[in-house]
Structure formats: structure tokens, C-alpha cells
């Protein structure tokens, strides 16, 4: 799209819907990537005792796949609320860095717009919104962040996450019966794919190995879900020591 | 079609926690620069959580499960989600039949 016309007000109003449309188009390939994750998540949530209403409620209000997989893997009835919140905060702590990186570009927006927009910030919409803002900045635009483009990316992703996790919740019981024998291996499979996506070299992954070893040891020796905080604390401590300046 | 109060509470608390991480960086960290050390730790933490959550799968003496985990990990490094899950589930199902305890 040509970006040469930044003069008049009516050009601006004309620009907004097309920015939104560009965002929607850019979101489509990502959306296809979401579908299998969403189906598996919905199916696993139902297998852990979530109802068909609770699944889209979880995925629509939380909208963070990694934390949803983690919480469902640890799900018990009744749920351990402290564990749920703690694991959610830890898995989603990367949002803090993402929000901080986006903050300079959001200064052109009032808070009443920026705060609702941030609800939709996932890895993909963040990366695409930031890349778009950087590109626009290079072209000399002062208010570089396009809320319309960002929402064009975000809304289809959010909607498809809700819809396909709900579909996964519906078809999950059927799939569960067919694959009942190895079905439990779906969890580590999903998590290993998520980890592979975070891979930044063997050295950076060393804390993960520390986490794994400590978590396995605590799981064997201590009853309850203590292996999660133990693994997380030892792994992040290893990262802290390894990153010594 | 049910909505359990305890599940609802967990979902709402989780949603609140996630939203706080989304606005926290914008509200608190936007004007300062984090040390590389803190950045490294925050980059590493999500992976530490994920691997810790699946640790019980590694704490098994069953060779079928360990072989299946190794195959799944190998698949995760080169394939996308759906084939990896299929390999994990199928290999676990088959190996448990062929390699009984």
C-alpha cells in the first residue's frame, strides 16, 4: 500500500479501514497455525473435566495458549488457585518485556485505547504490530503505531482461538476414545513443540535442563505439585547465574 | 453445559493475571531499560515452566514411554504441532503394546 498521502483528514478516515484490512490479511497464515493448537487444547481441557462452556470462556478471557496448556496439564478438581495463578504469571511473564518494547510506540495513543488494545497482545500480534510500527517509523511517520492494523491482526486471531478451542472441546471426546492408549503423550508433545519454538541455542537452553532434572527429582521424592515451582525456581536461578555480567 | 464455581474462579483469576502481564510492561517498564541479565531470565522462565510441568512424563521407568518421549522430542525439533502430536500419541500407543513392563 502506498503511504505517500498523509495530508488531509478525509484521507486519514479512508486509510483506517484499509489498515484494518491489511492486518486481517496478514493474520490469516498465523490463524492456520493456531488451529491445531486450539483443537488439541480444547480436547485436552475437556479430558481434564472442563465443560464445553468453560473452554471458550477460558480461552477468550485469558487468550494465552502456553499458560492454558500449562494450567490444564496441572488441573485438579477442585483447582489449586495459587498454582494456577503462579504458573500463569510465570508462563506469561514474557508479556512484560513485550509490552515494554511496544510502549514507546503506544505513546501516541491515549491510555483508554492502549489498555484495551493490550488485552489482545499475543506473541504474533505483538511481533506484527511492532514490525509494522518500525516500518512506518522508517518512512517518517511520527505516530508510527497503527491501531487499526494491530486490531486487524488481533481480532481474527482472538476469534479463531475461541472458536477452534470450542470446536476442539466438542470433538475432543471422540478423538479421546480413538487415541486413548497414547493420548497422554499429546501433552509433552505440545510442550516440546512450544519449547522448540523458544529455542535460542543449547547454551540458552541449559536452565531448561536444570529445571527438568530438579522437577523430575522433586516429583519422585515429594508428593503434590511442588515439582513445578521447584523446577521453575532452579531453572531461572541457573539462568540468572549463567547470565552473570 | 455446566459452569463450576471453582473453575470459574480459576478462569477469572488466570485471566486477570494474564492481563496484568500484558499491561504491566507498558505501564511500568516502558520508560526504563532492563539489564541484560533480567532480560535473559525473563526469556528463559517460560521454557522452565513448560519443561517442569511435563517432568512427570520423564520420571518413568517404562522404556516404551522413554523411547516415545525421545521420538516426540526429535519430531518437535523438525515438525509442526500436529504431526508431532500424532507421532507422540501413536508411538506411545504402539510401543506400550510391543514393550510391556
Closest Cα in chain B, distance from residue A156 (Å):
19
Angle formed by the axes of helices A202-221 and A227-242, to 10°? 150
ipTM, interface predicted TM-score of the complex = 0.84
Q: What pLDDT is recorded for position A12?
A: 52
Report residue A7: phi and psi, to 5°. -90, -75
Q: Which residue has the higher pLDDT, B87 or B99?
A: B87
Residues 106-145 of A with CB under 8 A from B: 106, 114-115, 118-119, 121
Distance from C-alpha of A160 to C-alpha of A151, rounded to nearest angstrom: 14
Domains of chain A, residue spans = 9-178, 200-245
Mutation for A interface: B15, B34, B55, B64, most A CBs within 10 A: B55
pLDDT digits (tens, 9 = 90+) for B10-44: 999 999 999 999 999 899 876 677 788 888 887 88
At B23 the three-state DSSP class reads helix
Check: CB of residue A237 under 8 Å from CB of residue B37: no
Q: What pLDDT is recorded for position A181?
A: 64
Check: CB of residue B53 under 8 Å from CB of residue A229: no
> What Cα–Cα distance (Å) separates residue A9 from each residue in A12, A14, A119, A133, B1?
5, 9, 29, 21, 50
Distance from C-alpha of B7 to C-alpha of B3, rounded to nearest angstrom: 7
Residue among A62, A232, A243 whose CB faces B45 most closely: A232
> What Cα–Cα distance (Å) separates residue A147 from each residue in A78, A126, A150?
40, 12, 5
Q: What pLDDT is recorded for position A16?
A: 62
Mutation for B interface: A185, A208, A224, A234, most B CBs within 10 A: A185
Chain B residues lying within 8 Å of A129, measured CB to CB: none
Angle formed by the axes of helices A9-47 and B81-98, to 10°? 10
Distance from C-alpha of B11 to C-alpha of B15, rounded to nearest angstrom: 6
Contact B98/A at CB under 8 A: no
- The series of mean pLDDT values per 10 residues for chain A, 245 residues long, is 43 67 88 83 92 96 93 89 92 85 87 96 88 86 87 96 96 63 78 86 93 95 83 93 83
Check: CB of residue A147 under 8 Å from CB of residue A132: no
Contact B34/A at CB under 8 A: yes
Contact B5/A at CB under 8 A: no
Distance from C-alpha of A72 to C-alpha of A199, rounded to nearest angstrom: 23
Distance from C-alpha of A134 to C-alpha of A104, rounded to nearest angstrom: 11
Contact B52/A at CB under 8 A: yes
At A109 the three-state DSSP class reads coil
User: Does B23 sit within 8 Å of A182, measured CB to CB?
Assistant: no
pTM over 0.90: no
Contact A243/B at CB under 8 A: yes
| Cα torsion A4, A27, A118, A100: sign | negative
Distance from C-alpha of B26 to C-alpha of A157, rounded to nearest angstrom: 21
Q: Which of B54, B44, B48, B67 is nearest to A219 (CA)?
A: B54
Chain A residue whose CA is closest to B81? A193
Q: What pLDDT is recorded for position B98?
A: 86
Residues 166-195 of A with CB under 8 A from B: 179, 181-195
Amino acid at each position: 500500500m502506498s503511504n505517500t498521502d498523509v495530508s488531509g483528514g478525509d484521507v486519514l478516515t479512508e486509510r483506517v479501514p484499509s489498515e484494518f484490512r491489511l492486518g486481517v490479511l496478514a493474520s490469516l497464515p498465523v490463524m492456520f497455525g493456531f488451529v491445531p493448537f486450539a483443537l488439541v487444547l480444547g480436547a485436552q481441557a475437556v479430558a481434564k473435566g472442563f465443560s464445553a462452556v468453560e473452554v471458550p470462556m477460558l480461552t477468550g478471557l485469558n487468550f494465552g495458549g502456553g499458560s492454558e496448556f500449562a494450567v490444564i496439564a496441572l488441573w485438579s478438581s477442585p483447582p489449586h488457585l495459587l498454582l494456577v495463578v503462579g504458573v500463569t504469571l510465570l508462563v506469561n511473564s514474557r508479556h512484560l518485556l513485550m509490552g515494554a518494547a511496544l510502549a514507546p510506540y503506544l505513546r501516541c495513543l491515549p491510555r483508554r485505547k492502549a489498555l484495551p488494545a493490550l488485552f489482545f497482545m499475543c506473541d504474533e500480534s505483538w511481533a506484527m504490530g511492532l514490525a509494522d510500527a518500525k516500518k512506518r517509523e522508517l518512512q517518517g511517520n511520527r505516530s508510527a503505531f497503527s491501531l487499526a492494523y494491530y486490531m486487524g491482526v488481533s481480532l481474527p486471531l482472538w476469534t479463531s482461538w475461541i472458536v477452534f478451542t470450542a470446536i476442539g472441546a466438542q470433538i475432543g471426546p471422540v478423538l479421546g476414545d480413538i487415541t486413548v492408549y497414547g493420548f497422554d503423550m499429546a501433552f509433552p508433545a505440545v510442550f516440546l513443540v512450544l519449547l522448540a519454538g523458544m529455542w535460542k541455542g543449547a547454551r540458552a537452553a541449559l536452565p531448561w535442563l536444570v529445571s527438568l532434572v530438579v522437577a523430575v527429582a522433586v516429583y519422585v521424592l515429594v508428593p503434590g505439585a511442588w515439582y513445578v515451582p521447584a523446577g521453575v525456581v532452579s531453572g531461572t536461578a541457573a539462568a540468572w547465574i549463567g547470565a552473570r555480567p | 453445559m455446566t459452569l463450576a464455581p471453582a473453575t470459574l474462579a480459576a478462569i477469572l483469576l488466570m485471566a486477570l493475571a494474564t492481563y496484568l502481564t500484558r499491561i504491566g510492561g507498558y505501564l511500568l517498564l516502558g520508560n526504563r531499560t532492563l539489564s541484560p541479565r533480567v532480560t535473559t531470565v525473563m526469556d528463559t522462565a517460560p521454557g522452565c515452566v513448560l519443561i517442569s510441568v511435563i517432568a512427570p512424563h520423564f520420571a518413568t521407568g517404562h522404556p516404551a514411554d522413554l523411547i516415545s518421549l525421545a521420538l516426540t522430542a526429535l519430531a518437535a525439533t523438525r515438525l509442526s504441532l500436529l504431526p508431532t502430536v500424532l507421532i507422540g500419541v501413536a508411538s506411545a500407543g504402539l510401543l506400550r503394546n510391543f514393550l510391556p513392563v
